[in-house]
Chains A and B, each alone.
Chain A
Amino acid sequence: MSSDEVRIVKRRVDLPQSTTWRVYRETDGYRALEKVVKEMTPDEVIETVRASGLRGCGGAGFPTGVKWGFVPKNIFPKYVCVNADESEPGTFKDRLIIEKDPHAIIEGALIAAYAIQAEKVFIYIRGEFGRGYDILQQAIREAYQTRLAGDQILGSSFSCHLVLHRGAGAYICGEETGLLESLEGNRGEPRMRPPFPAVKGAFGQPTVINNVETLARVPPIILNGPQWYRQWGTERSPGTRLYCVSGHVERAGVYEFPLGIPMRDLIEFAGGVSKGRKLKALIPGGSSAPMLDAETAMRVTTDFEAIMSAGSFAGSAGIVAIAEGTCMVKVALRLTRFYMRESCGKCTPCREGTYWLVQALDGFHSGSATREDLSLLESVGKQMVGNCFCLLGDTAPNPLLSCLRIGRDDFEYHIAHQRCPEEDGDR
């Protein structure tokens, strides 16, 4: 495997003034949109994306072209939603694109809009991204000024408007139906599926929701064709992906590599585990994904299928390395507390279960836990899995269950000594 990055989405991020329309245009920007509205039918666009095998980069990895194909042809109006509500712990690729290459998102979104014949694109950006909001706003302004958005784009009969919608701090709005509820002006509680958003989404109309990175990949695919994109990655996970490597590594960052690159290579590219320590556990796809133990992590490749068969999921490609010497009780408590705070409170197991888990984990932290609490934690966690309304609840116990599996010693240490192993200086 190559140890050099393959920069498709990242190609502009190091350019000076990369956020401007001028720089974007000079680097093949909006050529794909031009090609699409002037030379291609909507179906050809969908077919091209389908043939490229592009899979959603938000977490579920659903084939993008297939998703677009689900949208009914004869119901109008239709909408495109850009999910720029990046908030999965350990993931920070979308921020890079928003802040460095906003026009790529706009172009990708407009192509998606053309493919399904949507009249409006809603870009739902995370409330904490104040700077990103302004950068995107400015890019949208430029797009309107240059007739790339709005009525009769590039002189064609295709019209599409862009609306930038700012979230206000709720992790659950990254879930696509939670995002739709939030966009419509409700509490960001996930919706029941079916009906799926492709059939009945924003404002009750057919809607395509795509992640920022997914859309940024569309223009180069349109320009270079599906086969070009398939030269990287595996058969079922073609192309490249932005891997967010953080935690206990020397050089944390966003790296673009072909799907299927060995995890070991990725960690090495990031400088290896920091301070020469040994890897203890690894989160392969954002905090919701079950952790891999060091041995499995070093064995696995990074395509969707390989991580799935290792018992986890590739999710948002937020890879967090946890080094030897880290107390897994602390990790479990922090991550479970996150899910407790972000649970919307709609369904019972998530609302009550996360609260219970945090209360019980606090017992370990404060030294009051007993051996029975270990099995209780496991049992309560397992009672949540599969019984919740949305994936937030279903995956909320994952960090805890993983920590119990990988770091059981730390839990035992807490029970035996009423202290954190980290405090005892064995790190």
Chain B
Amino acid sequence: MHNPSAPAAEELTFFAGEMKEKAYEILSRYPHPKAAVMPLLWLVQDRYGFIPREAVPDVALLTETTPIHVEAIVKFYELFHDHPVGRFQLMLCTNISCLLCGADRTLKKLEELLGIDVGQTTADGLFTLEEFECLAACDKAPVLLVNCWDLYEKVTPERAEEIILQLRRKREAQGPKEGKGQDE
């Protein structure tokens, strides 16, 4: 296949300054620019908490793909969000081992505590509750993963209540403006 020519940097509208530098560094890691689609999307999401629509044409330009290709990637992978999500993304595993250890009761408790259903975000934009597939920590079932970083083990309904309290306190301590950039 023909390797199309690279786009001119001045065509970029979303990536600028430090982010542009970083984007070019990421591109240099791979033999083909298309491979940088996911790392670039992570770069955007780590900064903004989700992937704004405006970022899509730029990612397409940088990676020599098309906007629909990038959009399809965003939608294919569950961890990419095309709309803003809560400050704390609660991912409760409900797959086999966690199910056997009572994840469903924890889930029900979390829904009660937060007043939302699975997939929703609380009105204060603090919590998004998601039911997730196996998080590879079955020995500590049921497990709750927060923002792809903090893994809470053996989350019984009682423990769930503590965790929510703890997270609320953490948020108060950090202030509302802080990004969710632990993954950086």
Q: Is chain B in direct contact with chain A in the complex (CB below 8 A)? A: yes
A residues 82-129 near B (Cβ < 8 Å) are 86-92, 94-95, 120, 126-129
Does A425 count as interface, using CB distance less than 8 angstroms? no
A128-B39 contact, Cβ under 8 Å, with A248-B100, A320-B138, A331-B96 = no
B residues 61-105 near A (Cβ < 8 Å) are 63, 65, 69, 72-73, 76-80, 91, 94-97, 99-101
A126 contacts B34, CB within 8 Å? no
Dominant SS at the B interface? Answer: mixed
Measured between alpha carbons, how far is A95 from B153 in the docked complex, in Å?
A: 14
Measured between alpha carbons, how far is A399 from B31 in the docked complex, in Å?
A: 40
Chain B residues in 8 Å Cβ range of A166: 38-39, 42
Q: Mark B31-69, 1 if CB is under 8 A from A, else 0.
A: 110111111011000000000000000000001010001
Does B29 count as interface, using CB distance less than 8 angstroms? yes
Measured between alpha carbons, how far is A170 from B80 in the docked complex, in Å?
A: 11
Measured between alpha carbons, how far is A77 from B30 in the docked complex, in Å?
A: 12
- Determine, out of B10-18, B142-150, B169-177, the stretch whose residues face the partner at the interface: B142-150
Task: Say how far B118's CB is from chain A's closest CB, in angstroms.
Answer: 12
Does A283 count as interface, using CB distance less than 8 angstroms? yes
Measured between alpha carbons, how far is A344 from B78 in the docked complex, in Å?
A: 12
Does B136 count as interface, using CB distance less than 8 angstroms? yes
B134 contacts A87, CB within 8 Å? yes
A185-B38 contact, Cβ under 8 Å, with A168-B79, A248-B100, A320-B97 = yes
A169-B31 contact, Cβ under 8 Å, with A89-B96, A334-B95, A335-B96 = no
Measured between alpha carbons, how far is A128 from B65 in the docked complex, in Å?
A: 26
A88 contacts B94, CB within 8 Å? no
Partner of B38, one of A91, A94, A168, A203: A168
Chain B residues in 8 Å Cβ range of A130: 147-149, 182-183
Chain A residues in 8 Å Cβ range of B38: 165-168, 182, 185
B96 contacts A91, CB within 8 Å? no
A185-B65 contact, Cβ under 8 Å, with A168-B42, A203-B35, A253-B139 = yes
Does B162 count as interface, using CB distance less than 8 angstroms? no
Task: Say how far A27's CB is from chain B's closest CB, in angstroms.
Answer: 24
Central interface residue in A88, A187, A334, A344, by most chain B CB within 10 Å: A334
B138 contacts A90, CB within 8 Å? yes
A89-B139 contact, Cβ under 8 Å, with A185-B65, A248-B100 = no
Does B116 count as interface, using CB distance less than 8 angstroms? no
Does A209 count as interface, using CB distance less than 8 angstroms? no
**Nearest chain A residue, comparing its CB with the CB of B183:** A130
B residues 111-163 near A (Cβ < 8 Å) are 132-141, 145, 147-151
**Nearest chain A residue, comparing its CB with the CB of B76:** A187
Chain B residues in 8 Å Cβ range of A287: 95-96, 134
A residues 362-416 near B (Cβ < 8 Å) are none
Chain A residues in 8 Å Cβ range of B140: 252
B137 contacts A92, CB within 8 Å? yes
B97 contacts A185, CB within 8 Å? no
Partner of B79, one of A120, A128, A322, A334: A128
A247-B96 contact, Cβ under 8 Å, with A131-B151, A133-B183, A203-B32 = yes
Central interface residue in B39, B79, B149, by most chain A CB within 10 Å: B79
B148 contacts A127, CB within 8 Å? yes
Measured between alpha carbons, how far is A120 from B69 in the docked complex, in Å?
A: 26
Task: Say how far A330's CB is from chain B's closest CB, in angstroms.
Answer: 7
Chain A residues in 8 Å Cβ range of B132: 128
B96 contacts A95, CB within 8 Å? no
B interface with A by C-beta (< 8 Å): 29-32, 34-39, 41-42, 63, 65, 69, 72-73, 76-80, 91, 94-97, 99-101, 132-141, 145, 147-151, 182-183
* Shortest Cβ-Cβ A-B pairs, 6 listed: A168-B77, A169-B78, A246-B138, A185-B34, A169-B79, A252-B139
21 contacts between A and B (CB under 8 A): A87-B136, A89-B138, A92-B137, A127-B77, A127-B79, A128-B132, A128-B135, A128-B148, A129-B148, A130-B148, A134-B183, A168-B41, A170-B78, A185-B37, A187-B72, A203-B32, A247-B101, A320-B97, A320-B138, A330-B99, A335-B95
